Structure formats: C-alpha cells, structure tokens
Structure 1
C-alpha cells in the first residue's frame, strides 16, 4: 500500500466517530492489501454508552458467526487466549495445534470462509478495556510470508486508530496526548514512513545509535511494547504529523 494512501486512511480513521464510518475506512485498507476478512472485538469499554456484551465489528460469514456462538468458541478460541496472554502481534500459523479441539476450530474456520492465514493485534487501554483486531488472507503460504512483515507495521497503526474510533463511538474521552520531544517525534515519523535507523540517521544528521536512543525513549514515554507499537500509539493520539517535518531538525547540506 502506497504510504500517501495509507496515511490518508489513518487521517480518515482519526476523525471517525461511528463504528460504521470507521469500518468503511477499514474496508478500503482490506481491499488495498488484498485481505479476506477483518474483525474487531472489544471488552470492558470505558464509556457510558458501551454495551455489557462485547463490541463487535466483523466481516466473517453469517455461517461462521452462528457456528462460533453455538459452539461456545468464545471460551476456547486460541486467538483470543493468545491475545489475553500477550501484547505482541499474533500470527495464527504460530499457534500450537497439537490439541484436536484447536485443530477442529481452525479446520471449521477455514471451511466456513474465515481465511487460510491470519494476524491479530491485542490492544489494552488505560482503563482496563481489551480489544483484538484481526485480519485474514487466502493467499498462498509463500505470498503470505512475503507480505506479512510489512503488513504487521501498517496493521498495528490501523488497529490502534480503529480502537480510538471505537472509544469515540462509545462516548469515551480521548486519551490525553503525551508530549514528545521534537527529536523523538521526528524519529517516529520517519519510522512510520518505513525508514531504517541508518536512513533516519542520514536524514537527521545523527548516528543510528542516537536514532535508537530516541526511539527507545519514546517507547518508554508512551509505555509501548516495541517501535511499531510506539508509532501506532503516537499516530493514534496525534503526536506525530505525517505531512510536516520541522525544517530545523534536518541539517542543511554543505555547499
């Protein structure tokens, strides 16, 4: 997905205040990446308008949704369990399928058009809410492996922005933006644009080691799991401006 199109999509998510409008944006993301399904489920949403049952937005077939509910899969879903037990992206292919019940779960999911491959992003909010944002694909195993690394980066940004839209839709207050020093924000901005530490260092006239220092400092400041998570959160709460880089941060070329 072209970076300009991607950040236009993120900007649209940032102003969405209804699940329906946010879901329309996610539909564009899904088509751009050639994905098959997308699902968002949230628990304990911190808002007066939040329903006592999970908040759901899914494109799975009605047959799978009905079968999932009737089979009581919410209590044994290995993807949900992995999300509740960790903070990192979940590649469905890496989930242990030694248990016959888990093999049956994935077999039925494939049969009912969920998708052959999947990635899920666990999200934990400041007031105890938990959400899981998932996408699936019917690509071949080799094609899926080839696109997965880049997809995870974009998916984390989209997942956190969709969750922020869901909070707004429920009437929750936005998380106050934490101040980021200009250099940290600049390094995160270039990371969001896909630059390596070495490339960022050359752009800003600093060493790759200093770039990593600023990224780690931002990660600690925002209490995130890794750099991708830091970029996603910084975008979600408006701490980096993708269309503007302060000119004084970029060293002038010598004549």
Structure 2
C-alpha cells in the first residue's frame, strides 16, 4: 500500500454510508496485499461484556464467539489489554496459549488462519485491535511486512469509521455491538482553524514533529491543538477525531 492508495481508501471510508460499506472498502484494500480477511474487537476495560466484535469472516467466527467468553483467555486480547500499541504477529501472541484456549487456536490453525498481524486500535478505557490473516505465501508476507506502518494507520482509520457508523450486531459483518455508542448525527463542533489544520495533517499520516514543521509551530502546540480537537469532537483517539472531522465536513483529503 502506498500513500496515494491510503488517501484514496480513507476517502472511500468517508463516502461510505454504512458500517458494512466501510468493511467492504477495507476488505478490498487488504485482499490486494495477500490477506485472507480480518477479525476485530473493541472492548470496554471497565466492563468486558461491553464490546464490538466484527469480521469479514462472519461464518467462521460467529460460532467461536458463542462457545465461550473468548476475551477471558485469548492471548491476543490479553496483550492488547496491557496497552500494546505496536503491531505484533498473531502467531507470536499464541505461542503458549492457556489450556482453555488451545483447542480454539488449533482449530484456527487447522482452518488456515494461523498467521498474520495484529494491529492495535486501543484508546483510553478500551482495548482493541484488528487481526489480519495472511495467506500462506512467503512473498505476500514479505510485502505485508514492508507495508506494516501504513496498514496500521489504515486500520486505525477503518476502526474509527466503523464505530462512527454505530453498526447493528448480527448484520453480515458484525457479531456483537454492546458498547452503546452515541449517535453524532446532526451535532456541530466548532474547531479553531489551527485545530482543523493539525487534524487534517493527521489524515495524511503526518507525525506531530512533521506537523510542527509544516505549520511553523512547536510540537507541544501541535499536541495541544490535537487534544482540543479530540475533546471538541468527543473522540477517544486521533483517528476517531479525523473520522468525525471528515463526517462533519471540517476538511477534505
């Protein structure tokens, strides 16, 4: 994935009317990079029964979700709950699973989904991530490794847009949604021009240091603008603030 493709994919997210449409845009993007599909979760750390669970592999993961409270012994969920922010390999997380989870992992491996990347989408109060399952193809995996940074950024945008659309559970891609996300339809947010400018640079994947150089301000000031923008947009992450900024038409990319 290159920068142009990243920008066009995020633009396609913005134009999507439903959470299902957002998933389909993301699936198209990851299939071109040799992934088989994904499963993702967003878990409230204060009440782990409140969660969003969604996947492009509904038929496979729906029965697994019904079998047991998987988040209690899932090593990927456990690693995300520690506050992990860097991508890690799914097979590394499952290297030594708890006995209660081993049968589930063996079933996943036997089905051909035993390798891939976990891309954290955590935000304060929540643990979450998107698991991308790789095809059994060495060259594809090498290409995925090279694109990992942009994939992680894309996953953050994707998750923000999905949660913004507040999907119903049991609807093609969505196994569960008990987070009780509030609707933001019709709400207005008044951001200062510099807050909008910093948020727009985030949409293009720029770091705080890069934004500071582009806007000729300090890194500290950039971070303050971004915090204010997140607060005004009632967002728990910069990616979610970017998604809402696009939804409200505060800027375009």
Instruction: Please classify the TM superposition score into its range, dividing by the shorter chain length.
Output: 0.5 to 0.7
The structure 1 residue matched to 2:74, chosen from 72, 77, 81, is 77
The reply to whether residue 116 of structure 1 matches residue 126 of structure 2 is no
**Residue 219 (structure 1) shift:** 4.1
Could you tell me how far apart the structure 1 residues matched to 2:61 and 2:111 are?
A: 6
Q: Secondary structure at the match of 2:133?
A: strand
Which residues of 2 match residues 85-124 of structure 1 at below 5 A? 85-86=82-83, 88=85, 90-93=87-90, 95=93, 97-99=95-97, 101=99, 105-123=104-122
8 A contact 2:33–2:144 mirrored in 1: no
Could you tell me how far apart the structure 2 residues matched to 1:90 and 1:20 are?
A: 25
8 A contact 2:198–2:225 mirrored in 1: no
Could you tell me how far apart the structure 2 residues matched to 1:238 and 1:166 are?
A: 16
Determine the structure 1 residue equivalent to 2:172.
none
CA distance 1:22–1:191, shift in 2 (3 Å): closer
Could you tell me how far apart the structure 2 residues matched to 1:70 and 1:217 are?
A: 45
Larger radius of gyration: 1
Deviation readout 1:110-130 (Å, 9 max, x if unpaired): 3212251122434569xx887
Q: Secondary structure at the match of 2:245?
A: coil
**Residue 184 (structure 1) shift:** 3.5
Unaligned runs of 5+ in 2: 170-176, 232-236
Which residues of 2 match residues 175-190 of structure 1 at below 5 A? 178-190=189-201
Of stretches 73-82 and 59-68 in structure 1, the one that deviates more from structure 2 is 59-68
The reply to whether residue 57 of structure 1 matches residue 54 of structure 2 is yes
CA distance 1:61–1:109, shift in 2 (3 Å): farther
Determine the structure 2 residue equivalent to 1:153.
153
Of stretches 147-156 and 15-24 in structure 1, the one that deviates more from structure 2 is 15-24
Q: TM-score, normalised by structure 2?
A: 0.65
Deviation readout 1:195-248 (Å, 9 max, x if unpaired): 4666545544x26xx1x223311343326xxxxx42x122211165234xxxxx
Unaligned runs of 5+ in 1: 45-51, 224-228, 244-255
Q: Secondary structure at the match of 1:36?
A: strand
CA distance 1:215–1:34, shift in 2 (3 Å): farther
Determine the structure 1 residue equivalent to 2:34.
34
**Residue 58 (structure 1) shift:** 1.7
Could you tell me how far apart the structure 2 residues matched to 1:14 and 1:134 are?
A: 22
The structure 2 residue matched to 1:233, chosen from 226, 236, 240, is 240
